[in-house]
Amino acid sequence: MKRHLYEAEHEQFRASVREFVAREVEPNVERWDEQRHVDRETWVAAGRQGVVGLSGPEEHGGGAVARDYRYRMVVLEELARVYAGSLASSFSLQDDILVPYFTELGTPEQQARWLPGLCSGELIAAVAMTEPGTGSDLQGIRTSARRVEGGWVLDGAKTFITSGIQCDVVVVVARTDPDAGRDAFSLLVVERGMPGFSRGRQLRKIGLHAQDTAELAFTEVFVPEDNLLGVQGGGLAQLKRMLPLERLSIAAQAVAVTDAVVATTLEYTVGRQAFGRAVADFQNTRFELAELATEADVTRSYVDDCVRAWNAGDLGEVDAAKAKWWATDVQTRVVDRALQLHGGYGYMVEYPVARAYQDARVQKIYGGTNEIMKHIIGGAMVRGAR
């Protein structure tokens, strides 16, 4: 079935992204995994070629396509084609979470201050929500900021922070009023070099090895009043408002990787010989390939509909939750079965399917665990039935 999502301008953009990936990404993927971070020069090169900063406004150097997520889909698909999952995830954090935060919540002065660097790749951003004792329970956050003349003094610790080692700015979720319930939290922008802001160890993970993930600490960090992002006390509501795009981003990456794995597995089984014939000629292999391809196609169809809904300004929390949990569940299931079709070679890290297997597992955890996605969906169903 022909995919009716992209138009001519998206395919023209794909050619540019593919050239960038061939030049800057594909030769470096294994080295980045070994050194456990992506080169900063790659971010700047991505900014020059318009591969990052797509969601930013044109006046600040962005691509001005925030309401056409198809351009971001193209980037995810081209990075998935070379199994650059760490870079794809890092770019998603920048383009689908942080740039929209500053675009939607920032004052004109804040936008002029930070967006040009974020869109050019010269600044790398992070968001610090999770704490050692809170996980998905954001209302349990203990990091606090107390009012002082001219701003805030921030204290606390965060963990599992993507781009935590390399980030130049970090949006910190902090408790600014201990007695305000859900209105107790605000978003404060902490910048590299602020006294009291330190980075702990870089965390070792099952996958996404080139995506640096770290612990962050804040000890009596003075944060100027001008670094309050959005409104005081609006932290949780502001985060919730931005979640559909974050979850669409995760679903889109899941679909892109799933498609890449199916294509790679088909190529491998056609070329691999066993018992005197191609592995793809065995009935079980063909049944497996048929199931993998069908799951990928059906999932892509739903995610494409979610992309259209986002572009129309109509993607709700429940549909985004459905896309996130289903697409990531399919991704992990397809990758596991594809690895099995590779046999022993699938367990060797030099084979792309092995990297895809390692990288896939976290997809069901971050952005809200899949169990939380089901809670959101089921809760909406029950409320609607009453």
Q: Per-domain residue ranges for the chain?
A: 8-123, 126-233, 236-385
Band of residue 1 on the pLDDT scale cut at 50, 70, 90: low
Average pLDDT, the chain: 94
Place of tokens 């470096």: 28
Whole-angstrom distance, CA of residue 157 vs CA of residue 132: 8
What is the band of 132 on the pLDDT scale with cuts at 50, 70, 90? confident
At 141-187, the pLDDT tens digits run 899 999 999 999 999 999 999 999 999 999 999 999 877 677 889 99
Distance separating alpha carbons of residues 372 and 194, to the nearest angstrom:
35
How many residues would you count in the chain? 386
Q: What is the separation of C-alpha 213 from the centre of its chain, rounded to a whole number of angstroms?
A: 13
pLDDT-derived band at 136, boundaries 50, 70, 90:
low
Per-residue model confidence (pLDDT) at position 235: 86
3-state SS, one letter per residue, for 4-66: CCCCHHHHHHHHHHHHHHHHHHHHHHHHHHHHCCCCHHHHHHHHHCCCCCCCCCHHHCCCCCC
- % of the chain exceeding 70 in pLDDT: 98
**252-291 pLDDT per residue, tens:** 999 999 999 999 999 999 999 989 999 999 999 999 999 9
In angstroms, the Cα distances linking 14 to 58, 79, 344 are 20, 11, 34
Q: What are phi and psi of 250, to 5 degrees?
A: -65, -40
Alpha-carbon distance 76 to 3, whole Å?
16
The reply to whether 371 belongs to the active site is no
Sign of CA dihedral 132, 138, 139, 143: positive
Structure tokens at 253: 């990456």
Instruction: Choose which CATH entry (3.40.630.10, 2.40.50.100, 2.40.50.140, 1.20.140.10) describes domain 236-385.
Output: 1.20.140.10
Q: Which two tokens stand for residue 251?
A: 């679903």
How many angstroms separate the CA atoms of 218 and 52, rounded? 29
Q: How far apart are CA 84 and CA 210, in angstroms?
A: 9
- CA-to-CA distance for 78 and 340, rounded, in angstroms? 24
* pLDDT higher at 234 or 379: 379
Nearest to 166 by CA among 223, 215, 126: 126
Check for a shared fold between 8-123 and 236-385: no
Backbone angles phi, psi at 230, to 5 degrees: 80, -150
What are the pLDDT digits (tens) for 78-111? 999 999 999 999 999 999 999 999 999 999 999 9
CA torsion sign, 51 to 100 to 194 to 217? Answer: negative
**Helix, strand, coil percent values for the chain (each to nearest 5):** 60, 15, 25
Phi, psi (degrees; rounded to nearest 5) at 222:
-80, 120
Strand partners, 185: 175
276-285 pLDDT, tens digit each = 999 999 999 9
Tell me the C-alpha distance between 79 and 73, whole Å.
10
Report in angstroms the alpha-carbon separations of 385 from 13, 322, 379, 381: 45, 18, 10, 6
What confidence category does residue 137 fall into, taking pLDDT thresholds of 50, 70 and 90?
low
Write out pLDDT tens, residues 213-243: 999 999 999 999 999 999 998 888 898 888 9
Q: Would you state the torsion angle of the CA atoms of residues 290, 295, 300, 302, taken in this order, to the nearest 10 degrees? A: 140
Tokens matching residue 80: 């998935």
Report yes or no: 146 and 178 within 8 Å, Cβ to Cβ. Answer: no
Rounded CA-CA distance 146/188 in Å is 12
157 vs 144: CA distance, rounded Å: 10
How is 67-113 classified by DSSP, letter by letter?
T-THHHHHHHHHHHHTT-HHHHHHHHIIIIIIHHHHHHH--HHHHHH
Architecture of domain 8-123: Orthogonal Bundle (1.10)
Among 179, 208, 182, which Cα is nearest to 79's? 208
pLDDT at 135 exceeding the cut of 70: no
User: pLDDT tens for residues 244-254?
Assistant: 999 999 999 99
How high is the pLDDT of residue 2?
67
pLDDT (average), residues 10-38: 96
Q: Which of 246, 267, 295, 350 is catalytic?
A: 246
What pTM value is reported for the model? 0.94
The Cα 138–Cα 372 span in angstroms is 13
Contact 103, 58 (CB under 8 A): no
Convert the pLDDT of each residue in 327-348 to its tens digit.
999 999 999 999 999 999 999 9
Under CATH, domain 126-233 is a member of which superfamily? Butyryl-CoA Dehydrogenase, subunit A, domain 2 (2.40.110.10)
SS3 338: helix
